Chains A and B, each alone.
Chain A
Amino acid sequence: MCSNVVEAPQSARQFAKVLQILASFGNEEAKLVPILQAVQEEYRYLPEEVMTFVATALGVPPARVYGVATFYGHFALEPKGKYVVRVCDGTACHVKGSQNLVETLRDILKLPEGKKTTPDMLFTLETVSCLGACGLAPAVVINEDVHGLMTPESTAALIEDIRREEGL
């Protein structure tokens, strides 16, 4: 019988993490939202099968997990790109021209109508209602980094930098 744990492939580690997350919340139905948050952190979205597994483990109908996951804008049901670009479209950013930033981004990312993520899974474009950084309006957040007082040109430059870093 083997017992040594050696480096498992990425996906297996993710699944092990789900088990760990469930255990850390005591498999409690009431902790569904924090459990889904932690799972999303692991997968960067909520895969259907993982939600079914979470439902099974918590003893709730999968339809309820799906209901919670679709209720909150924070949860993503589709895989997101490596770089999540969030353009703030709160009141302050909106009047400072955030829509121009969105249009510029859709254009340079060549996003087809109705799509949020580029086919190469590099970028996901989202709008958010307010980042609480109204003094920096209009603001753009790429993953964890906040960029303020943006113009279409400076936004395009940010994307160019990332593309260069990625060797594109």
Chain B
Amino acid sequence: MTAEKTLTIDGLPVAIQDEKNILEMIRRAHIELPTFCYHSELSVYGACRLCMVEVEGRGLVAACSTAPEPGMKLRTQTPQVRELRKMNIELLLASGNHDCPTCSKSGSCKLQSLAERLGVTKVRFHAPVPERPLDTSSPSILRDPSKCILCGDCVRFCDEIQGIGAIGFTHRGSQSMVAPAFNKGIAEVDCVNCGQCAAICPVGAITVKSDIEKVFDVLGDPSKTVIVQVAPAVRSAMAEAFGLPNDTFTTMGRIVTALRRLGFKKVYDTSFTADLTIWEEATEFINRKQKGGKLPLFTSCCPAWVKLAEHDLPEILDNISSCRSPQAMFGSLAKEILPGELGIQREDLVVVSVMPCTAKKFEATRPEFAVDGNPDTDLVITTQELARMIQDAGLLFGELPVGSLDMPFGFKTGAGVIFANSGGVSEAVVRYVAGHLGEENPVVQELRSDKNRRILEVPTKLGAIRMGVVYGLAEAQRLVKEIQAGQSDVDFVEVMACPGGCIGGAGQPVTHSAATREQRTQAIRRVDAALDLHCPQENHYVKEMYSERLESPNSHQAHHLLHTHYQSRKRIQGEGISLSDMTGTPKIPVSFCVGTACHLRGAEVLLKKVMACVDQEDLGDRFDIRATFCMESCDRGPTVKVDDIVLHGATVDSVMGLIREVVAEGAKG
């Protein structure tokens, strides 16, 4: 028998299990040590110094970055520790622009709640707050660097969990701040709008961009007919915003009533178009599987994932389902069908969506999802924003009667609702494929696990389908690399950017608790279990939609209204590097792409050789040769542009051929 290894916390003996740091042990002893920068899913940073405790013989240490040792004597409540914590909060309050009543984070701000909890009632220091302008460039998030406390949570989440690194620390000392590369607007870099930086930000330095006022404005405009769609995940978390028990059916019914009271003419459910998405996506998958098309097929419902692929994974764009997301399908159908039915112009129909997601705000602005400049989805608000609108209007959410959705777009099966959970889209596809092949609905338990990566095999008459389910974009990128290296063999991959899927979206009420996310997941499953229908094929309104308008899944009309295409995107907006002398007569521009994809395809060697040829043929004074970053056709690189002509898969001969042609043209003309 081995003696139990223990240490004491405020005199209480606690057994050391496998904790990596004493902070975890202190929390196990039911003490909520305050922290800003400690999150179990992120690396330990040790910056905020709020978790300082006294260790006998060692003095003050940061609990998050101190490993437990047997015999340690910890004290969490000495006068010195308490003084230190209060002082830290006071200094943070003095160092930024923390005016609580007008801050949109008020109520869910950690700095505010810790100041209250620790009894910081006075700030004795008054440092001039440096002028730092708002970054309003993104449709999804708003950055206010003057409120930043430099805990680095957003930087680590973006880098470690999403694998992007769109923001980082810049400068030093009192000038330190968190900013995108080159201090550009967040929309000008490779941010995918997942909003998790805003969700994890303990203060109001990064928040969700609010569209509340715009929605109130259209609701108050008598010339507009305003309708609304509510995403599946919203019902799983809205009750949290009002401190009510999470009874999903009542919550959804109250959301419907609240929306009608706010003035929406029709209230619909995005789960309807989620059902429709499965008809389209599963058909696309079956076709690819049977006809030997490009596999694996990646899902396309998550707009953050789609944008990431456009920036960084151009080679897999053909593997991403061409299906629009349920939000986009809803907008497209609503604007196609409803103006005729309601006897109004398309421009006078306003489609609002309520989403758990900040990236949906960006998705709605994509030019592909508009007709003649009129967007299919006009405005997107998050769960949090709807809660605020309900409060703004004075509606007592907990006392509202339960309302029912409008038809046909309010009708759904359980398959459409489980889209909210990681693994849900896959489960819906499995149900559809089984139904399509006349098989029993298999319940694949593994699809319902909470791991951020699941690889499993579902036996069907089509043969075994190997499915991958991931959440978190870093994990998604790792899986893509393994697939490309031939280490993972899968047919279908579901990707969601946020923890646990859309239920953990950045538009949901703020939580850092895995238990809360699990409650939301279970709430969604209860809706699925309670509905009469579980298989997307059983949605008779979707069936009707096909017989009346869309013919069949993947038909020409379905493609026109429900599918899209993707394009490679630049990571950083900016000019190229000029390689020629910029003097003399106007020159013909020749641009060589040296972005990631072209770089890997040997763009530099090509560039060097072409420059040598240009010099040898004495054409240097005719051309302005530039190295540029990304011409957004990464899958066909290396890409070279001579004047207005774009060459894909460029070689020295093809580029020189074109250059000579342009010279000959010039001589003629």
Q: Which residues of A are in contact with B by a Cβ distance under 8 Å?
A: 1-12, 15-16, 19, 47-53, 55-57, 60-67, 70-72
Contact = CB atoms under 8 A, between A and B. Distances in A.
B529 interface: no
24 contacts: A1-B652, A1-B653, A2-B616, A3-B612, A6-B612, A9-B581, A10-B581, A11-B579, A11-B581, A12-B580, A15-B579, A16-B608, A52-B574, A56-B571, A56-B594, A56-B629, A62-B182, A62-B571, A63-B168, A63-B179, A63-B189, A66-B170, A66-B182, A71-B171
A72 B611 CA distance: 35
Nearest to A11: B579
B410 interface: no
A64 B168 contact: yes
A48 B170 CA distance: 14
The 6 closest A-B pairs by CB, nearest first: A61-B165, A63-B168, A2-B613, A62-B181, A63-B181, A12-B579
Chain A interface, >50% SS class: helix
Interface of B: 159, 164-172, 179-183, 189-190, 571-572, 574-581, 594-596, 599, 604, 607-609, 611-613, 615-617, 620, 625, 627, 629, 652-653, 656
A51 B168 CA distance: 15
B513 to A, nearest CB: 29
Contacts of B625: 12
A3 B609 contact: yes
Nearest to B608: A16
> Which of B166, B170, B580 lies at the interface centre, i.e. has the most chain A CB atoms within 10 A of its CB?
B170
Contacts of B189: 62-63
Nearest to A63: B168
Contacts of B572: 52, 62
A55 to B, nearest CB: 8
B181 A52 contact: yes
Contacts of A51: 181-182
B612 A56 contact: no
Contacts of B613: 2
Nearest to B651: A1
B148 to A, nearest CB: 14
Given A2-B656, A60-B165, A61-B164, A53 B577 contact: yes
Chain B interface, >50% SS class: mixed
A159 to B, nearest CB: 28
A53 B652 CA distance: 22
B612 A8 contact: yes
B612 A49 contact: no
A70 B620 CA distance: 36
B612 A2 contact: yes
> Which of B571, B595, B604 lies at the interface centre, i.e. has the most chain A CB atoms within 10 A of its CB?
B604
A70 B171 contact: yes
A49 B577 CA distance: 6
Contact of B615 (A8, A55, A57, A61): A8
A67 B158 CA distance: 15
A51 B572 CA distance: 11
Contacts of A5: 608, 612
A9 B629 CA distance: 21
Contacts of B580: 9, 11-12
Nearest to B163: A61
Contact of B609 (A2, A7, A47): A2
B658 to A, nearest CB: 15
A11 B581 CA distance: 7
A67 B168 contact: yes
Contacts of B581: 9-11
Contact of B172 (A3, A7, A11, A71): A71
Contacts of B574: 48-49, 52
A63 B167 contact: yes
A53 B615 contact: no
Contacts of A15: 577, 579, 607, 627
Contact of A57 (B172, B599, B616): B599
B616 A12 contact: no
Contacts of B596: 56
A55 B630 CA distance: 14
Contacts of B579: 8-9, 11-12, 15
A47 B629 CA distance: 14
A114 to B, nearest CB: 13
A9 B599 CA distance: 22
Contact of A6 (B168, B181, B615, B627): B615
Nearest to B656: A2
B574 to A, nearest CB: 6
A52 B629 contact: yes
Contacts of B181: 51-52, 55, 61-63, 65-66
Nearest to A6: B615
Contacts of B170: 63, 66-67, 70-71
